[in-house]
Chains A and B, each alone.
Chain A
Amino acid sequence: GTPATEAPPAETEAPATDAPATEAATEAPAEPFVFGMLLVGPYNDGGWSQAHYEAGQYVEEKTGAKMIYLDKVNPADRPGTTPDQLAEELVAQGAKLVIFNSDDMKDASTTFAKANPDVFVIMASGDQVWPDGKAYEEIPNLMNIMGRMEYGKMIAGCAAALSSTTGKIGYLGPLINDETRRLTASAYLGAKYCHEKAAKTTDLEFKVTWIGFWFHIPGFTTDPVDVSKDFYTTGFDVVISGIDNSVNLPEAQKLTAEGTPSLAVAYDYINACDVAPEVCLGVPFFNWGPDYLAAIQSAADGSWESQFIWSGPDWTDLNNHDTSAIGFVKGDALSAENAAILDEFIAELAGGLDLWTGPINLQDGTPYLADGEVASDQQVWYLPQLLEGMQGLSASE
């Protein structure tokens, strides 16, 4: 239904009946701006979804705004529901802006935004309103927000390459799509660069194994635990996680304790290393807070405009909670001297080093970037294959 008919009754009933709402009402003098968030996984998954959830909390404490959220928004956990329907639940609870946090919700976010023109929509990791994008649509009340995790992955790859004694790096890939391809490739570029930079004697091997989904489903996906174990026991002494929950950490911890020195790079969530600090080289993480804050404020004060935001890190202060869209936290397992080299690398990136510069060939050898050519955003975003030198499938067919 259209919020025009929906929202008012929901609004009026919300404070009356819902305990949290009334509390919020008493806390904030003015009626707080309510924004909703749809999380694809559990809000406390220690990964992708939790990063979004905590960004929401960040916004709550920066502004008086109040967050309502619904997690596990996927057909398996919410049988018979669609994200747009669930978004309406949030609107019914008073949300004036809804964040869709997964690529899987792209269509739903479009549908919802069109059906509810007076509700603001943020589609994280999507590209619908990117004028230069392949799937551009004009949706005034929708905004795309994504962090340039490419840099995070480059740093991750670098840390991996520096710390690997065998020069063999494993990458725990989820399912194959544009996003996962470009991130995996970035990790490879970072690894390659630092491998040469540190003049490693080993020769670099970078292998991706796709498990088939963002997390394990028995009988259908390859078990990431087995994949990690297989990597570690076949000489890949560093495994970079590209999936939602970094199961490579506990596995590395176990195998190390059992005498197979194994290292891991986590993903998505700033505190992901805490599961097994002593084997963690670090974690590239999303810091959605700043961009969400800006977007939500613009929605609140009417300065909203539909746009595609692809924010990079704050190079002056990589892990600044208030300014940097992505960051990298070093882990305890990263040796001092490697940490030093890594900082140099970060500095170079800050200084304008762009690893997405030619010559770069695709996995099948076709040239992608000519010598000296710098990749356009589209070329990075829509990377058609893995890169030459990487092992693993480029597409599921």
Chain B
Amino acid sequence: MTQETILIGLAGILAASAPIVFAVLGETLSERAGVINLSMNGTILLSAMGGFAVAYTTNNIVLGFLAGMLIGALVALIVAFASITLNQSQVAVGFVLALTCRDLSYFLGNPYMGVPGPRLQAIPIPVLSDIPILGALFFRQDAITYTSFMAIILTWVWIYRTRPGLMLQGIGEKPAAAYIRGANVNLMRYVYTVIGGALIGLAGPAFSLASRAGWMGTISGLDGFGWIALSITIFGGWNPARAAFGAYLFGFLQWLGLVLQPVLTQVPSQVLQVAPFPLMILTLLLVNIGNAEWVERTLAAMPESTRKFFAKLLRAMRASPPAALGVPFERD
């Protein structure tokens, strides 16, 4: 393969991963505030269908994307209401919505099967696109891919560099402490869950109006991305940058499976495709093992020096979730 083709391949990965990036960022925001939105898989399908349907009927691609975000926000609102206001298990509600929204998208999407609809085109950015390598990689993409780049930067900056972002970290970590610092915890949880939902909802149209144009119902090949995105969120350790990296890594491995097909003739293509998942589990193990209590017990048994060393090592790998993830906050 020439450098050119590799570059194009990588650029393709950046574009193809845009939807997952949105989903992962949305989930990260929501979980940072302490709410797990397990509905992703369904939300993405429903917003893909809804976004396409709207763009198709109004022949306005922007409206399509907005519709997708709206759908995502509404689903997230149900999750928020059920878990924050009604104190129901976030996991249960999210899971139910994941299945329901999927079937709903198939049921309502029938009329739009296979109809040719609007689709985003790449817009090379004048000067930047001519920069040797970077130009080909980053600046010959379509609008939604550019948006995904921005989204990564924005969420990262928001969480780690702004005042409200700092408060967001606090809310997910220890709501009571955030509360005495003047935060309206439950309101903020609503807000971030809904915003996160909107981002997740953006993933749908990012498929159906850009990278995988059109709606093909059950054979659209979108069912499953939501669950994948969920694992990537954990892999990302609730850090937008790391999460986005996870999304790209996943895309890269898929692409590798494709280009390696002629080489690894022994392995059916399906196996290469699934390679990311064992990997994902492994990383989950690495980042979580520090949280297991037998580790702490064995550490306690170790002599001072070794204990310190291992503790450091574990801390380095460890990505513990926001301490209050899934924990309702009630003042009295």
| Bound: A311/B274 CA distance, A | 40
Q: Are B257 and A245 in contact (CB under 8 A)?
A: no
Complex interface: chain B residues within 8 A of A244 (CB): 219
Q: Which residues of B contact A (CB under 8 A)?
A: 1, 5, 8-9, 12, 16, 110, 113-114, 116, 119, 121-122, 140, 211-214, 216-225, 228, 254-255, 257-259, 261-262, 265-266, 268-270, 272-274, 277
Complex interface: chain B residues within 8 A of A225 (CB): 16, 211-212
Stretch in contact with the other chain, from A104-112, A194-202, A212-220: A212-220
The answer, yes or no, to whether A391 is at the interface (CB within 8 Å) is: yes
The answer, yes or no, to whether A338 is at the interface (CB within 8 Å) is: no
Complex interface: chain B residues within 8 A of A396 (CB): 268-269
Complex interface: chain B residues within 8 A of A275 (CB): 114, 116, 214
Complex interface: chain B residues within 8 A of A218 (CB): 221-225, 228
The answer, yes or no, to whether A320 is at the interface (CB within 8 Å) is: no
Q: Are B270 and A221 in contact (CB under 8 A)?
A: yes
Q: Which residues of A contact B (CB under 8 A)?
A: 41-42, 44-46, 72, 76-77, 209-212, 215-227, 229-230, 233-235, 244-245, 247, 250, 253-254, 257-258, 274-276, 391-393, 396-397
Q: From A215, which residue of chain B is reached at the shortest CB distance?
A: B219
Partner of B114, one of A223, A229, A245, A392: A245
- 19 intermolecular pairs with C-beta atoms under 8 Å apart: A44-B110, A46-B113, A76-B218, A77-B218, A212-B269, A215-B216, A217-B224, A221-B221, A221-B270, A223-B221, A225-B211, A230-B258, A245-B216, A250-B116, A257-B121, A275-B114, A391-B262, A393-B262, A397-B266
Query: Nearest chain B CB to A246's CB is how many angstroms away?
Result: 10
Q: Are A230 and B221 in contact (CB under 8 A)?
A: no
Query: Nearest chain B CB to A269's CB is how many angstroms away?
Result: 9
Query: Nearest chain B CB to A49's CB is how many angstroms away?
Result: 10
Q: Are A219 and B113 in contact (CB under 8 A)?
A: no
| Bound: A396/B228 CA distance, A | 26
Q: A219-B228, A219-B273, A220-B270 are in contact. Are A42 and B119 (CB under 8 A)?
A: no
Q: Are B221 and A45 in contact (CB under 8 A)?
A: no
Partner of B219, one of A216, A227, A250: A216
Complex interface: chain A residues within 8 A of B221 (CB): 215-218, 221, 223-224
Partner of A226, one of B213, B222, B255: B255
| Bound: A44/B269 CA distance, A | 28
Q: Are B8 and A233 in contact (CB under 8 A)?
A: yes
Q: A222-B257, A245-B114, A247-B212 are in contact. List 7 more A-B contacts (CB 8 A).
A: A42-B219, A76-B218, A219-B228, A230-B255, A234-B1, A275-B214, A396-B269
Tell me the dominant secondary structure on chain A's binding face.
Answer: loop
Q: From A271, which residue of chain B is reached at the shortest CB distance?
A: B114
Query: Nearest chain A CB to B116's CB is how many angstroms away?
Result: 5
Q: Are B12 and A223 in contact (CB under 8 A)?
A: no
Q: Are B268 and A250 in contact (CB under 8 A)?
A: no
Complex interface: chain A residues within 8 A of B272 (CB): 222
| Bound: A275/B119 CA distance, A | 12
Q: From A272, which residue of chain B is reached at the shortest CB distance?
A: B114
Q: Are B261 and A209 in contact (CB under 8 A)?
A: yes
Complex interface: chain B residues within 8 A of A245 (CB): 114, 216, 219
Q: Are B273 and A220 in contact (CB under 8 A)?
A: yes
Query: Nearest chain A CB to B44's CB is how many angstroms away?
Result: 10
Q: Are B262 and A258 in contact (CB under 8 A)?
A: no
Query: Nearest chain A CB to B129's CB is how many angstroms away?
Result: 11
Query: Nearest chain B CB to A262's CB is how many angstroms away?
Result: 13
Q: Are A41 and B213 in contact (CB under 8 A)?
A: no
| Bound: A253/B116 CA distance, A | 11
Complex interface: chain A residues within 8 A of B269 (CB): 210-212, 221-222, 396
Q: From A391, which residue of chain B is reached at the shortest CB distance?
A: B262
| Bound: A370/B45 CA distance, A | 53
Q: Are B1 and A42 in contact (CB under 8 A)?
A: no
Q: Are A219 and B9 in contact (CB under 8 A)?
A: no
Q: Are B261 and A229 in contact (CB under 8 A)?
A: no
Q: Are B258 and A221 in contact (CB under 8 A)?
A: no
Q: A77-B218, A233-B5 are in contact. Are A226 and B12 (CB under 8 A)?
A: yes
Partner of A44, one of B113, B116, B222, B265: B113
Nearest 8 Cβ contacts at the A-B interface: A216-B221, A46-B114, A218-B224, A215-B219, A233-B8, A258-B122, A44-B113, A212-B269
Partner of A230, one of B218, B228, B259: B259
| Bound: A11/B200 CA distance, A | 49
Partner of B258, one of A77, A227, A258: A227
| Bound: A245/B113 CA distance, A | 11
| Bound: A40/B160 CA distance, A | 50
Complex interface: chain B residues within 8 A of A276 (CB): 116
